[in-house]
A and B are shown apart, each in its own frame.
Chain A
Amino acid sequence: AQKVTQAQTEISVVEKEDVTLDCVYETRDTTYYLFWYKQPPSGELVFLIRRNSFDEQNEISGRYSWNFQKSTSSFNFTITASQVVDSAVYFCALRSGGSNYKLTFGKGTLLTVNP
């Protein structure tokens, strides 16, 4: 069975603060893929990143960065200098062949960035 835990249900920050969203995963498969999605109030899930289990390099894309640590089964997401437009629900998700390719989502973290 696979599982994704996002322990932070809600986070509130003031604009320009840095914020880290935590994601811890469980899987028995040796090959798996991790994803982050953003869901603004409009409802559409926006794909942010995919990370393969065999690639532990961290990634930076503008104000976004991701820290993948297999040793702690974590795939954390940091937003630097947050902006009001970053306000959304963020989902971490896991997918592996052993799960019949089902995308397992965490419960999501609601991020509110206040001006």
Chain B
Amino acid sequence: DTEVTQTPKHLVMGMTNKKSLKCEQHMGHRAMYWYKQKAKKPPELMFVYSYEKLSINESVPSRFSPECPNSSLLNLHLHALQPEDSALYLCASSPRGKSAGNEQFFGPGTRLTVL
């Protein structure tokens, strides 16, 4: 099973809402990632968890809060977002921690619209 799943597929939220994005993988991978992708741009790294510990935070605003409850799950909690946060949010995982040689496997993404 080489699949990363993400829910929901689409999300529309107001600027005062709190919502969460979920990501799951059952490949035994030990690193998980959140990326943000705006239209016609490459993905931008937000967070990396390696062996369930937050390893990299790319100076992401605190209105985005990641959580890794266990090795298979990754959440992204959203609060007080701005319209410019509207984007495709991609989750990825890689087999052996965050080391350079790992390929990352991506989920289908959550398309987020902030009104």
Interface residues of A (CB under 8 A from B): 31-33, 35, 37, 42-47, 50, 52, 91, 95-97, 99-103, 105-108
Q: Is the CB of B108 within 8 A of A43?
A: yes
| Contact A101-B99, Cβ < 8 Å, known A43-B111, A107-B41 | yes
Chain A CB within 8 A of B49 CB: no
What range describes how many residues of B lie at the interface?
20 to 34
| Contact A45-B103, Cβ < 8 Å, known A105-B42, A106-B42 | no
Chain A CB within 8 A of B15 CB: no
Q: Is the CB of B106 within 8 A of A101?
A: no
By secondary structure, the B interface counts as loop
| Contact A46-B42, Cβ < 8 Å, known A100-B56, A101-B100 | no
Q: Is the CB of B104 within 8 A of A103?
A: yes
Interface residues of B (CB under 8 A from A): 40-43, 45, 48, 56, 58, 88, 90, 92, 98-101, 103-109, 111
Q: Is the CB of A33 within 8 A of B101?
A: yes
Q: Is the CB of A102 within 8 A of B90?
A: no
Bound Cα distance from A46 to B104, whole angstroms: 9
